[in-house]
Amino acid sequence: MTGHHDDYHALLARREAMKLRDNLLRPSRSTGGDNGHPPAPLQPYDGAADQEAITRSLAAVTPFGTLINRLYEAMFSQHPYLRQLFPDSMEFQQAHLEKAFWYMIDHLDRPDELTAAFAQLGRDHRRLGVLPVHYEVFEASLVTALRACAGHAWTAEAEQAWVRMTRTVSAAMVNGAQRAIGEPVSWNATVTEHERRGADLAVIRVRPAEPYPFRAGQYARVESPMLPHTWRPYTPACVPGEELEFHVRRTGPGGVSDALVTQTRVGDELRLGPAQGHATLDEQLDRDILIVAGGTGWASAKGLLQELSHRRPAGLSAHLFLGSRTEAELYDETALARLEERCPWLRVTRVIDDGRHGDLLMDTVLKAGAGAAGSGSASGSGSTSGTGGADWSRHTVFVSGPAGLVASAGWRFTEAGVPQDRIRHDPLPVTSTGGAQNTPSAHSVPSAHSAPQGLTTQGFAAPVRAHFAAGAAAQL
The helix (H) or strand (E) run that includes residue 322 is strand 318-324
- Residue 162 and residue 150: Cα distance in Å, rounded? 13
- Residue 191 and residue 264: Cα distance in Å, rounded? 8
Distances (CA, A) of 304 to 202, 233, 296, 362, 374: 20, 17, 14, 20, 19
Q: What pLDDT is recorded for position 357? A: 62
Radius of gyration of the chain (CA): 24
Hey, is 324 helix, strand or coil? strand
Q: Which residues pair with 245 in a beta bridge?
A: 205
Closest by Cα among 284, 324, 323, 52 to 165:
52
Distances (CA, A) of 408 to 13, 40, 161, 214: 44, 49, 36, 28
Give the number of other Cβ atoms within 10 Å of residue 50's Cβ.
23
Give the number of other Cβ atoms within 10 Å of residue 463's Cβ.
18
Selected residue with higher pLDDT from 21 and 324: 324
Q: What pLDDT is recorded for position 112? A: 86
SS (H, E, C) 37-71: CCCCCCCCCCHHHHHHHHHHHHHHHCCHHHHHHHH
228 pLDDT above the threshold of 50: yes
5-9, 99-103, 265-269, 337-341: lowest mean pLDDT where? 5-9
Closest by Cα among 268, 238, 263, 265 to 253:
263
pLDDT digits (tens, 9 = 90+) for 369-419: 744 444 455 554 333 333 344 479 999 999 999 988 999 999 999 998 899
- Residue 427 and residue 404: Cα distance in Å, rounded? 12
Q: How confident is the model at residue 458 (pLDDT cuts 50, 70, 90)?
A: very low
SS (H, E, C) 233-291: EECCCCCCCCCEEEEEECCCCCCHHHHHHHHCCCCCEEEECCCECCCCCCCCCCCCEEE
Give CB contacts under 8 A, 24+ apart, made by 381-389. 381/357, 382/357, 384/351, 384/360, 385/349, 386/349
Q: How confident is the model at residue 358 (pLDDT cuts 50, 70, 90)?
A: low
45-59, 217-231, 348-362: lowest mean pLDDT where? 348-362
Backbone φ/ψ region at 217: left (φ over 0), alpha (ψ -120 to 50), beta: left
- Cis geometry, peptide bond prior to residue 225 (ω within 30 degrees of 0): no
Q: What pLDDT is recorded for position 469? A: 35
CA angle 326, 425, 399 (to 5 degrees): 35
Distances (CA, A) of 425 to 50, 107, 307: 31, 21, 17
**Alpha helices by DSSP H, 31-179:** 47-61, 64-78, 91-107, 111-125, 132-150, 156-179
